[in-house]
Structure 1
Amino acid sequence: MSTLSASSLFNVKGRIVLVTGGGSGIGKMIAAGFVKNGATVYVAARKESQLKEAVEDLNKLGGGKAHYIVANVGSKAGCDALIAEFKKREKKLHVLVNNSGISWGAPFLDVPEEKGWDNVFAVNVKSIFYMTAGLSDYLIKGSTSDDPGRVINISSTDSVVPWSENLLSGDGNGTWSYQPSKAAVNHLTTQLAVKLGPSQVTVNAILPGYPLRPPIHQLFTDLPPSHSFFPSKMTAFGLKAAGEEVLALGQPTGRLGKTEDMAGVALFLASPAAAHVTGAQIIVDGGGRYTRTRIAAQVKL
């Protein structure tokens, strides 16, 4: 029964992993977990300078190896370009982490159509479909019921709670498109799990949580998705502006999320321990969703 040992159950050594939006925030946290445990990880994002810095940091961890690919998954053409570049470098993909995402905040009566809705859904939802479909042959190749290919989609607790405004949104501002886009990610995850299951590929979602919202829409432009109470460039503003207050109101665990929290769940979903897990939606928010109503009640409508 050697397969019951922790070193076997959670082994990802030698796996080839692609993480979109892997240059910062939660994507980088997940990439770090894979690199540290012996995987070869490709991080993809739009900004090469950010990717270079991320890869340098990741390669200091030892264990595996990190590489980067400059890409923009905001369109099918962008997804196709990333897929083509990855396929030039590798012959197989074990784990696809669809982490890229954006948000947009605006007043309820003045949400721009293209940036406020179309672009949010293009990056948050469509990219998951096109990346997964385009790499399905690489995920299926060599996969078995005991060693399936893995897709991990990064959703948000915003997908299961309705509040688009909170203490940090500012009067009348909210992220009206972000919540439904992440709800769509959850449903798409189950659709893809059904589609790819017979081909020995599992598809699961992680829902990081308890979102902070900066007060003006400019702060959402060109930034990673807002999976807060996990320190990142997007959440830095909120934590500085009202970190202690929001932490006290919204975190039953009394602490911020850490790299280990995100990396641990991702490693589980990519490891032999989760070979029989598909279509799951795992919330990682320290219980913050349970106190969301208290915070929402203090927002002026």
Structure 2
Amino acid sequence: MSEDLAIPSLFNVKGKIVLVTGGGVGIGKMIATGFARNGATVYIAARKEPQLKEAVEDIKQVATGKIHYIVANVGSKAGCDALISDFKKREAKLHILVNNSGITWGGPYNDFPEEKGWDNVFNVNVKSIFYMTAGLSDYLIKDSTSTDPGRVINISSTASVIPHSEGELSADGNGTWSYQPSKAAVNHLTSQLAVKLAPSFVTVNAILPGVFPSKMSAFGLKTSGDKIVSRQPMGASALSFYLNATTDRKQGRVGGPGDMAGLALFLASPASAHITGQHIITDGGARLFSKL
């Protein structure tokens, strides 16, 4: 019998159990909403319980699956272990792990702080992905097959492939010196984990978002939103973009919930069961037109 290629079958996540770190706001909330809307049981985890409660109530408005929260801090191995332990008390299987928790720090080139600027950024952005994935591998591997594998989705950034650290997303005189290399590390760790877990029927892929509304982009969108949006190439021809033409040019846009949820749903559905170790950019083509 041939495979069912109907959309409801190819993109089905109903009944899957999902854990999204950093799921209370921004990109994490977009992804969690997409899964809950389509029948998955979703757990969101973050440090701030009020944000988690608010997110759960928002997501419930559209959910056809269940939505829960766990208060956790993945900034250390102990924090990751505590989240893993709490989750394992509630479920016997995990189908989809979304490692979304991330932070950034802006500071001057000649006085960039070590602990908050470097150590904490790498702890949350890189180490947490390793410890969360390693600690939940047994749950991801359980009952997984080549056609229905466990899934790990790591949220990286186009900052991992664009080396500019000073711009609209940080204050004048400051740069996000540790954020770019931390996200580059996420990409390579994604490849490492894909190699490790493929024999156990678990796929590991990374999403590299461009500018999306989130806590990290809030400063830039507030202070330079019009400028940032004007640089989004979707809606503009390449020639008009490079010539800074202002006529006959449709307005571009930053990323939205459908862009993020759609890609995450794809990477967790039967349609992507044969895809692993990939770093997928979703930025409307902005990095192709960067003139910085």
Query: How many residues matched?
Result: 275
Whole-Å separation in 2 of the counterparts to 1:33 and 1:168:
27
Whole-Å separation in 2 of the counterparts to 1:86 and 1:269:
22
Deviation at 1:83, TM superposition (A): 0.0
SS at the partner of 2:92? coil
The equivalent of 1:175 in structure 2 is 176
Alignment of 1:182-197 (within 5 A): 182-197=183-198
Deviation at 1:249, TM superposition (A): 2.2
Alignment of 1:217-232 (within 5 A): 228=211, 230-232=212-214
User: Relative to structure 1, is the Cα distance of residues 186 and 168 closer, same or farther in structure 2, using a 3 angstrom cutoff?
Assistant: closer
Given candidates 214, 229, 245, the residue that maps to 1:247 is 229
CA deviations 1:212-262 (Å, max 9, x no partner) are xxxxxxxxxxxxxxxx2x122333332232211221124434112110000
TM-score, normalised to structure 2, is 0.92
SS at the partner of 1:41? strand
Given candidates 260, 267, 272, the residue that maps to 1:274 is 272
Alignment of 1:1-301 (within 5 A): 1=2, 3-209=4-210, 228=211, 230-253=212-235, 254-292=252-290, 294=291, 296=292
Q: Give the % identical residues.
A: 74
* Contact 1:148/1:275 (<8 A) preserved: yes
Whole-Å separation in 2 of the counterparts to 1:290 and 1:165:
18
Q: What letter matches 1:291 in structure 2?
A: F
Deviation at 1:65, TM superposition (A): 1.1
User: Relative to structure 1, is the Cα distance of residues 238 and 172 closer, same or farther in structure 2, using a 3 angstrom cutoff?
Assistant: closer
* Contact 2:103/2:216 (<8 A) preserved: no
Deviation at 1:28, TM superposition (A): 0.2
Deviation at 1:168, TM superposition (A): 4.5
* Contact 2:154/2:190 (<8 A) preserved: yes
Whole-Å separation in 2 of the counterparts to 1:262 and 1:11:
17
The equivalent of 2:239 in structure 1 is none
Q: CA RMSD in A?
A: 1.1
CA deviations 1:137-164 (Å, max 9, x no partner) are 0000000001000000000000001000
* Contact 1:2/1:8 (<8 A) preserved: no
Q: What letter matches 1:273 in structure 2?
A: A
Whole-Å separation in 1 of the counterparts to 2:282 and 2:50:
30
Deviation at 1:2, TM superposition (A): 5.6
* Contact 2:76/2:124 (<8 A) preserved: yes
* Contact 2:206/2:277 (<8 A) preserved: yes
TM-score, normalised to structure 1, is 0.89
Whole-Å separation in 2 of the counterparts to 1:160 and 1:263:
22
Deviation at 1:288, TM superposition (A): 1.1
Q: What letter matches 1:186 in structure 2?
A: N
* Contact 1:94/1:139 (<8 A) preserved: yes
CA deviations 1:59-102 (Å, max 9, x no partner) are 11131111000000000000000000000000000000000000
* Contact 1:153/1:206 (<8 A) preserved: yes
* Contact 2:30/2:257 (<8 A) preserved: yes
Whole-Å separation in 2 of the counterparts to 1:248 and 1:34:
31
Deviation at 1:290, TM superposition (A): 1.9
Deviation at 1:173, TM superposition (A): 1.1
